[in-house]
Every structure is written in structure tokens, then in C-alpha cells.
Structure 1
Amino acid sequence: MADAELLENEGAARDWLKQAFAPTALQWAALERFATMLVAENAQQNLIAASTIPSLWVRHIADSAQLLALDPDGEGLWIDLGSGPGLPGLVVAILSDRPMLLVESRRRRCEFLRAVADALELRHVEVAEARLEAVATRVAGTISARAFAPLDKLLDLSARFSTESTRWLLPKGRNAVKELALLPQPWQRMFHVEQSRTDGDSHILVGKGRVAPEKRGKA
């Protein structure tokens, strides 16, 4: 993925989605409806930057879908931390049948997530309206977080959901390498850096394994 061509416009994003996932007609329709609902709701509450709406299919749809492409053989529960408007969680749920837990503490955003899940009949989506600290521990096959917390805090808070087979997919923008370098060595070795398909300056931290809090600070 590091040498993959960047997706620079909606046409390129749609072509990549077609090649990567071969969406059914129902999935395409669901993506279209989600995009429409997202823009409409953005007029009521600040879900995404207004400046990104013209490039929504690149900046939000494909940007979310690329995480699923990094975990093609994943299975089990996918937990999306700080899901906000469902990015990446709802996009992944549309393109796969993975059971999805969307963790979001803000009531209005949770109302939107439930409305989309109901409208698109995404029966495998569950919304947890709570801070992560209050969510009951469950085994996660995959953990994603597009904009949740600094890396060390994110790992601390979500460690109890991880096992040796858990996949971590953490978009970290331009600070990915810097944040990774600040982690204790045992945690650093779990991750590698992937280039984002949607922004030449952005990167994704991809890891696998159990984050053990007791390792923190040990060499």
C-alpha cells in the first residue's frame, strides 16, 4: 500500500472502491444514502469540516474504506472508537458483514449513528453511547480510531479489549511516525506505518496483538 497511487477525486475513489470491494448494488446504494445523510446532518451538527464536503468520497468514504482493505481477512467484533459520524465504522459496516460496535459519547452523534444504521438496515451495527471507560470489556477482532485520542492514551484505554490476534487500524495523519516514536519499545514493535490512499502526508498505524498495560515503560 505504501506505493499505491493516491485517490485524488471522486471518480478515482469510486473506481478504487469497485476494484477493492466489488460492492453489490445494495452496498453502492447504502454508500450513496449514507453520504447524503451525512451532508444533510452536517447542517444540523458539526460532523465533518464543511470544506471537505466537495471531496467527501475521497476524504471520508474511501478514507474509511481503506482501513477495511488493510484487514481483508479479519473476523470477529470490530470496535470503532470515537466513531463520530460513523467514520470509519459505518463505511466498514456497509462494505462488510463484520459485527460493528460504534463507541461514541455524544448523544446527538449517537442519534445520527442509530438513524443511519436503521435506515440502511445495518443489523450488525451496535451503538454504545458512553465514554470508552464505561463500555463493558469485549474481545475485539479489530480496533479502529480515526480521531479519538493521542496514541498512548488510546492504547491505555482500549488495551482491555485486545488479544494476541487483535488488529489495530489507527489513522494518525501527519503525526503518525512522531506518535509511534514516543511509545515504549514493546508497543512500538507491534506497529508499522502505512501510507494513506487519500492524503500524501497522512499515515496509518497498523498493528496486531494484545496491548498489555504492564509493559508500559519497559524496554
Structure 2
Amino acid sequence: MADDQTMSLMQCYLASILEANKVTNLTRITDGEQARLLHIEDSLVGLPEVNEAPDGLYGDLGSGGGFPGVPLALATGRTTLLVDSVKKKMAIVQSVLDDLLLSEQISTSSERIEDLPLEYKEKFAVLTARALSKLVSLIELASPLLKKGGRLVCYKAQLSSEELDEALAVQDLVGMRMISQREICLSDGETMRTIVVFEKVGKSRIKLPRRIGLAQKQPLRPRN
């Protein structure tokens, strides 16, 4: 887990985000204790899986107010890209990073995920996604961005067997393979998280990325 100095920096970041949230909607959580639980503690749940990924660039997809990306970046020391298509959110996050002198390590992008491979094709060692989309969509979006052996670490509040089966049915198609699944309860004793990890094992057998929005609107299905 992160040391005291790193935890203090995470708290400073969170406080700045909660302050900015009074003007612009970055997070629905406004209570300080809840924010620490759901933005810092929850972000760090996936730290073991992120640490197990190869060395290299880390990207947080659908980062919103910078969670879990900023806590994980600070805990791991990885060069990090926070990705969210809502430009206003990313502008505020970037401003907070600048103020805390973190922008050399952590940068932001408001590109759509499908457009990222133009600049970052197979560049990431590890990606995270929290409350972003179904697994079947996430492995499709992550595949062109991950280098071989790179990991996608997905945070799920509730994971149905149907959602998992949909992803497993097409993982070969997109060159991904599920390697682990772990459940954990946060310190409040009631908030459950499931961490699911996929590894990039080979080339996709279809051309990726598809057009913007198709991963969610028309999820891939196994070929006969």
C-alpha cells in the first residue's frame, strides 16, 4: 500500500477535486468520508493487479474526476494518461494536477477511446476501467491500446455471470484472455468490488478499433 507521503498527496488531490465539484459536476459524492472510501480506498483496490502488469505506460479509461487513475499513478509511480471524453472534466483535472506539480507524471486526454490508437497503438502496459462499460466492450476498446502482455484491470460493483460469459465468448477474437478475478469488501463492511483482469495475448482477428460507439451499441459476438 502507499506510504504516508503518497497518501497525503492523494488526500490533497481529492480535496481539490471536491472543491472544484462545488462549481462543476465531477463526482456525485460530496461527503468527505464517502469520497475517501469510494475514491481513494476503492481506487487502490486494484493496486496489486496493476503492480503485476509489465512496466510501462498506464492509462485510466473513463477517468472522470481522475479515479482510480490518480491514486494508482501516485501509488505505482507510473507515467499515466487519464482519458475521458468530457473536456470540461479533463480541463479541471489537468488544472489540479498542475497545481499539485503532478503534471510531469500524470497527463490528461479528452480523446474518445476509439481515437486513442492513432497516437497510442499498443503503447500501454496497463489500463484500468471503473464503472465504464460492460466487459465485452472494455476488452474490445483496450485491445488496440495494449502492448502484448499488457493488462486491462476492470473494477465492477456487480458482475453477473452473463456479463462475464459475453466477454469470455469473444476474448480470443480481440486477442485478450481473462487471467484473474477477485472479490473484495471495502472497509465500510458492505461495499463489494470485483476486480477482473484480462491480458493482451495476441493480435485481434478483426480490425480494431471499430467506429466510435459500436463497442457499446453493438457488442461483439462470437463468430460461428
How many pairs are equivalent?
A: 198
- Which stretch of structure 1 is more off in the superposition, 45-54 or 57-66? 45-54
Question: 1:168: Cα distance to partner?
Answer: 1.4
Given the alignment, which residue of 63, 71, 75 partners 1:95? 75
RMSD: 2.4
Given the alignment, which residue of 177, 189, 196 partners 1:205? 196
Distance in 2 of aligned mates of 1:152 and 1:211: 17
Q: Does 1:163 align with 2:147?
A: yes
Q: Residue 46 of structure 1 aligns to a residue in which SS?
A: coil
Q: Does 1:137 align with 2:120?
A: yes
What do residues 128-180 of structure 1 show as CA deviations (whole Å, max 9, x unaligned)? 12111222233211010112222222222221012331111101211254311
- Which stretch of structure 1 is more off in the superposition, 204-213 or 55-64? 204-213
Q: Residue 168 of structure 1 aligns to a residue in which SS?
A: strand
Distance 1:52 1:147, change over 3 A: farther
Distance in 2 of aligned mates of 1:53 and 1:176: 31
Distance 1:120 1:159, change over 3 A: same
- Which residue type is aligned with residue 183 of structure 1? A
Task: Name the residue aligned to 1:217.
Answer: 222
- Alpha carbons 1:173, 1:203 under 8 Å: kept: yes
Unpaired stretches in structure 1, ≥5 consecutive residues: 1-19
- Alpha carbons 1:194, 1:204 under 8 Å: kept: yes
Distance in 2 of aligned mates of 1:80 and 1:211: 22
Distance in 1 of aligned mates of 2:223 and 2:179: 17
Distance in 2 of aligned mates of 1:210 and 1:44: 44
Distance in 2 of aligned mates of 1:35 and 1:78: 20
Given the alignment, which residue of 189, 194, 206 partners 2:182? 194
Distance in 2 of aligned mates of 1:52 and 1:177: 33
- Alpha carbons 2:139, 2:152 under 8 Å: kept: no
Structure with the higher fraction of residues in helix conformation: 1
- Which residue type is aligned with residue 117 of structure 1? L
TM-score by length of 2: 0.78
- Alpha carbons 2:65, 2:89 under 8 Å: kept: yes
TM-score by length of 1: 0.79
Q: Residue 130 of structure 2 aligns to a residue in which SS?
A: coil
Distance 1:43 1:115, change over 3 A: same
